[in-house]
Amino acid sequence: MEKFSGFFGDVELTKERWAHIIQFHPEVRRCRKYFSETLSKPDVIRKSKFDDTVYIFYRKLPRLFFAVAVKTNKRNFILTAYLTHKIQQHAL
């Protein structure tokens, strides 16, 4: 398990979640170095439209945005991460 300092405090990335991320979003493997900065200094944060306890942190990369979805509760943890062309419009 890895821990990152984030906007809401410490955020965990478990081995199980990392395996999920690279299975469904293999392109994120090359973005691992961006997790810390995305969580601590995001360009944009949006609340999930499906779950009030999930926030999506966005960091602008050269041609895409790196998005990290974090479940906030007693134990903040990364649900998933992916690359996208646009930021979700659902405001915080």
Q: Is the pLDDT of residue 76 over 80?
A: yes
Nearest by Cα to 69 from 57, 61, 85 = 57
* Residue 89 to residue 69: CA distance in whole angstroms: 15
Is 30 within the bounds of a domain?
A: yes
Helix H or strand E encompassing 32 = none
Q: Is residue 64 part of a domain?
A: yes
**Greater model confidence, 88 or 24:** 24
Residue 27 placed within a domain = yes
Residue 35 domain-assigned (yes or no): yes
Instruction: Tell me which amino acid residue 51 is.
Output: D
Structure tokens at 31: 């973005």
Model confidence at 90: pLDDT above 70: no
Tell me which residue range forms the domain holding 20.
Answer: 2-84
Number of structural domains the chain divides into: 1
Query: Does the residue 91 lie in any domain?
Result: no
For the cut 60, the answer to whether the pLDDT of residue 24 exceeds it is: yes
Tell which wins on pLDDT, 17 or 9: 17
Q: Residue 7 — very low, low, confident or very high, per pLDDT cuts 50/70/90?
A: confident
**CA triplet 62, 63, 64: central angle to 5 degrees?**
105
Q: Is residue 89 part of a domain?
A: no
Question: Is the whole model's pTM more than 0.95, yes or no?
Answer: no
